[in-house]
């Protein structure tokens, strides 16, 4: 018997979904560099919830991402949402902003008002999203973490101020315990994991810690991983600025990246303990500075089709004009 139109649609939708599920691990590994073991565990845990293997009425997953600052925890959650459900499929709350009793009340709500968390979840569902990213859980007021981890069902709170978290992925990130591991050189991944898990279990209390679907540990980023991240960030920034100049000049503009630029910016932006965070700042500052300088000098302007970021030993990264062949009206 041939399928009814509804069945056909269902299976076509299923095929697209299966395709996205299959591609999640590879997509995340292409975006988050130098974290393959962590990303593998993260993708597996997300998919189990995503593919309907969580208990009905419960969150699809409750994940804890641990690891030093600037290593890709937040970015991994953002990219997972983008891949699975599209650009607006995530709501991100920095729990560090809810450290006081008063702020905790504002987040959780009381006496019939849903609070900021409830409002955010409503917004997320309305946008078709399913990922609730809760950063810096260790800085939140105790009431917040107790409530988030104390859920017996997918409903949080009590009485009129219930927040329905069922079917959502709750991704919590934290730097708990990382200040010591950052100094551990050459220590096996398994020992680092044990240390971080012990710290986190003590912080959340073991019975609450046991509720996490998965605990994923991100590594400190070694120099070779930061070198790859640096090259990627430079390409992204150059592409972004080329689009902006094309719009402004009214014709296509290409920005090329010369040899040595990546090495130069890495040597300035590499940081052993702050991960890739300083890199992004250095890259944006230097490339934008080079464009501003070239435009003020009158070299880069309408009519220029190709410019090159190049290293000038004395002056750092500069934008040189390669070609000006657009005839202006
Ligand atoms: N492994 C990585 N691969 C690619 N980019 C990365 C990686 N780690 C960090 N970045 C980049 O560095 C910046 C900071 O990363 P992110 O916000 O994900 O760090 P984090 O681990 O959440 O840090 P924190 O603990 O301070 O919140 C982002 O611009 C991100 O794109
Ligand atoms: Mg973060």
Task: For the chain, list the domains and their CATH numbers.
Answer: 5-217 (3.40.50.300), 223-323 (1.10.8.60)
CA of 309 to the centre of ligand 2 (A): 30
Residue 228, helix vs strand vs coil = helix
Q: Is the CB of 35 under 6 A from ligand 1?
A: yes
Q: Is the CB of 323 under 6 A from ligand 1?
A: no
CA distance 186 to 179: 16
pLDDT for 230 = 96
CA of 70 to the centre of ligand 2 (A): 7
Which residues in 8-23 are b (16+ Cβ under 10 Å) and which e? eeeeeeeeeeeeebee
List strands edge to edge, sheet with 90-94. Answer: 90-94, 131-135, 169-174, 61-66, 214-217
CA of 67 to the centre of ligand 2 (A): 9
Residue of 33, 178, 275, 284 with the most ligand 1 atoms within 8 Å of its CB, for mutation: 275
Q: Is the CB of 229 under 6 A from ligand 1?
A: yes
The answer, yes or no, to whether residue 253 has pLDDT greater than 90, is: yes
The answer, yes or no, to whether residue 262 has pLDDT greater than 80, is: yes
CA distance 123 to 92: 11
Q: 105-114, 207-216, 220-229, 249-258: which has the minimum mean pLDDT?
A: 105-114
What confidence tens digit (pLDDT) does each residue in 226-243 have?
Answer: 999 999 999 999 999 999
Q: Is the CB of 226 under 6 A from ligand 1?
A: no
The 3-class secondary structure across 88-141, one letter per residue, is CCEEEEEHHHCCCHHHHHHHHCCCCCCHHHHHHHHHHHHCCCCEEEEECHHHCC
Q: Is the CB of 70 under 6 A from ligand 1?
A: yes
């Amino acid at each position: 018997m041939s399928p009814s139109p509804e069945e056909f649609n269902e299976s076509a939708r299923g095929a697209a979904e299966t395709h996205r599920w299959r591609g999640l691990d590879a997509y995340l590994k292409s975006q988050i560099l130098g974290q393959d073991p962590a990303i593998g565990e993260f993708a597996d845990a997300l998919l189990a919830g995503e593919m309907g293997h969580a208990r009905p009425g419960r969150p699809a997953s409750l994940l804890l991402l641990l690891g030093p600052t600037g290593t890709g925890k937040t970015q991994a959650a953002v990219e997972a949402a983008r891949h699975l459900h599209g650009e607006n499929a995530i709501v991100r709350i920095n729990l560090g902003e809810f450290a006081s009793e008063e702020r905790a009340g504002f987040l959780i709500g009381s006496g019939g008002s849903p609070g900021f968390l409830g409002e955010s979840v409503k917004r997320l569902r309305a946008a078709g999203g399913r990922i609730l990213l809760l950063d810096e859980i260790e800085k939140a007021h105790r009431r917040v973490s107790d409530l988030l981890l104390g859920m017996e069902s997918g409903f949080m709170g009590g009485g009129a101020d219930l927040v329905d978290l069922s079917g959502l992925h709750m991704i919590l990130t934290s730097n708990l315990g990382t200040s010591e591991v950052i100094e551990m050189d050459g220590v096996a991944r398994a020992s680092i994991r044990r240390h971080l898990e012990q710290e986190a279990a003590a912080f959340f209390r073991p019975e609450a810690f046991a509720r996490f679907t998965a605990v994923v540990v991100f590594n400190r980023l070694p120099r070779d991983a930061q070198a790859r991240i640096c090259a990627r960030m430079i390409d992204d920034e150059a592409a972004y600025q080329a689009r902006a100049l094309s719009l402004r000049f009214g014709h296509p503009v290409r920005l090329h990246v010369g040899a040595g630029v990546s090495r130069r910016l890495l040597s300035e932006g590499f940081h052993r303990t702050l991960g890739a965070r300083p890199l992004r700042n250095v890259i944006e500052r230097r490339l934008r500075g080079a464009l501003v300088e070239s435009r003020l000098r009158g070299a880069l302007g309408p009519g220029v089709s190709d410019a090159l970021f190049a290293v000038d030993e004395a002056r750092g990264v500069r934008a040189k004009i390669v070609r000006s062949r657009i005839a202006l009206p």
